[in-house]
Chains A and B, each alone.
Chain A
């Protein structure tokens, strides 16, 4: 008579084992891979983090924002601010980047939540512009010119020395490895965190709100609070990623840090190509995006034109993205969240 609930499937168990192997490989990567690979992986991982958070926002929370660059930029500038002006080490400064993005997100949400649909999208864009213009007035960090991280700060970062000695690397390469490991931690925490969220009752509520907001409210789901949680979480995560990305770049300017193309448009592209509303989608999407960039980036405007056309084609042909296509065909889920009731009267006849 006793019932139990499981979310695992045979496929997910295999995926979990493969995941553990993959993660171990990724952690050990700096020991055998060249710098080029490490840097490519850094790019992939940070874009993946941005994509996962935008996906959380739009795919799960229904909040289509085109202003994520506000949080990347705020995080990045906060990192430069505390490093340059207060002399904080860049590694802990990444945390400040997240906090700063969170702080900006509160008034942004207060304003943007008054708007719906397309208005929300454009509202977030305008707010990002406002933040960009305000930061461009911040003379201490170079105003519209931008600024660079002091060399002393980047040379003596936490962990650098031990990485240098353990792996026998020059300091620039050691910095890459450190940034890569931080990005790996951030990406794993992001995916793990989002997966965990989706498996809690809040995740269930998110899905319910997405399916039918009125009905969700009527069974006690606080749809308004869900929006806040999702928005603030993704702002925080996006800010962390922004801080990390610019720690690695070591040079910042408002136009770069608040670029709508780099930090929102490409991210949307990644999510939509891969499959919105799934954890797997952004992972696939970022790989496709990276492959395209590697193959085509040297063709300049042709590359961008291809990207634009591809976005149009995917949206029309496979609106649920590549992963959507795949999982429709195979029923495969690497991150299953469906709770299956078993036992009791279901024991004999599984549907």
Chain B
């Protein structure tokens, strides 16, 4: 059963078409990777799915429901969680409070009920020691972890991750992969935009390639990666 389905979704900013007639389905429980050159429209695609940006045309269905016109808040409440590529923490709130906002509002629960859950997520994302620090004081890496942690706190059915592995050391990267695999293993559907290919391919089952807002490939990661077209477009390096 497909949990998310896009049909002919398009979006332009002025004269620039950033999403061009994109159609694809994501199955329940799947992990989908998205790759594509800078500016290909990957983040915009996320924004369209989460409702931070409204589509110019086409439709988006989540769990069979048409959510094309739903607000970002509504989509969060029905189970779409996300991280931002450029981390957007609530800077004046502490790390723990950042999660608390997400857990109490994203799941409509009281603070007391979600407390241990939030602490658990902080432990898993290795932010627990920074729990009481204002998020504005975090380093880039910690901010990225916070993005992931906050998205997890809303307990999404579909989790969208936008470049959270960039700049990690190998050890950190492995830890991140474990965390994501763990989330995935709990039945959460994942869509992950990532330039760090080895990390991506070690988690995802399918790979989507985006170029100039168009879906130019979707399928088994190895096959996709092997295609010469993708290698050229994406890496820009002749292999």
Contacts and interface: CB of A to CB of B under 8 A. Distances in A.
- A touches B (Cβ under 8 A): yes
Label chain B's interface by main secondary structure: helix
Interface stretch (B14-22, B57-65, B81-89, B193-201): B81-89
Contacts of A341: 96, 115, 118-119, 122, 131-132
Contact of A201 (B82, B100, B130): B100
A163 B191 CA distance: 70
A339 B115 CA distance: 11
A223 B104 CA distance: 14
Contacts of B90: 207-208, 211-212, 215-216
Interface stretch (A240-248, A291-299, A343-351): A343-351
Contacts of B150: 219
Nearest to B90: A211
B91 interface: yes
A348 to B, nearest CB: 10
Interface stretch (B105-113, B174-182, B220-228): B105-113
A219 B97 contact: no
A347 B94 CA distance: 17
B45 interface: no
B66 to A, nearest CB: 19
Given A3-B119, A341-B119, A214 B89 contact: no
A218 interface: yes
Interface residues of B, number: 47
Given A218-B82, A341-B132, A211 B91 contact: yes
Contacts of B43: none
A229 to B, nearest CB: 13
A318 B122 CA distance: 36
Which of A210, A218, A221 has most chain B Cβ within 10 Å?
A218
A338 interface: yes
A166 B129 CA distance: 59
B94 to A, nearest CB: 6
A274 to B, nearest CB: 19
A222 interface: yes
Interface residues of A, number: 32
Given A222-B73, A223-B73, A341-B132, A5 B92 contact: no
A205 B76 CA distance: 14
Nearest to B92: A211
Nearest to A210: B92
B3 interface: no
Which of A210, A211, A219, A349 has most chain B Cβ within 10 Å?
A219
Given A341-B131, A344-B119, A219 B105 contact: yes
A204 interface: yes
A180 to B, nearest CB: 37
B101 A205 contact: yes
Contacts of B115: 3-5, 341
B43 to A, nearest CB: 13
A35 interface: no
A217 B52 CA distance: 8
B26 interface: no
A5 B52 CA distance: 32
Nearest to A199: B111
Contact of A339 (B92, B97, B106, B129): B97
Contact of B129 (A216, A217, A346): A346
Contacts of A221: 73, 101, 105
Interface string B152-178: 011000000000000000000000000
21 contacts: A3-B115, A5-B96, A201-B101, A208-B93, A208-B101, A212-B89, A215-B84, A215-B89, A216-B101, A217-B51, A218-B82, A219-B105, A219-B150, A220-B106, A220-B108, A220-B154, A338-B94, A344-B119, A344-B128, A346-B128, A346-B129
Interface of A: 2-5, 200-201, 204-205, 207-208, 210-212, 214-223, 338-341, 344-346, 349, 351
Interface of B: 50-52, 71-73, 76-77, 81-82, 84, 88-94, 96-98, 100-102, 104-108, 110-111, 115-116, 118-119, 122-123, 128-133, 150-151, 153-154
Given A207-B90, A215-B89, A219-B106, 10 more contacts: A5-B96, A207-B92, A214-B52, A214-B72, A216-B101, A219-B101, A219-B154, A338-B97, A339-B94, A339-B111
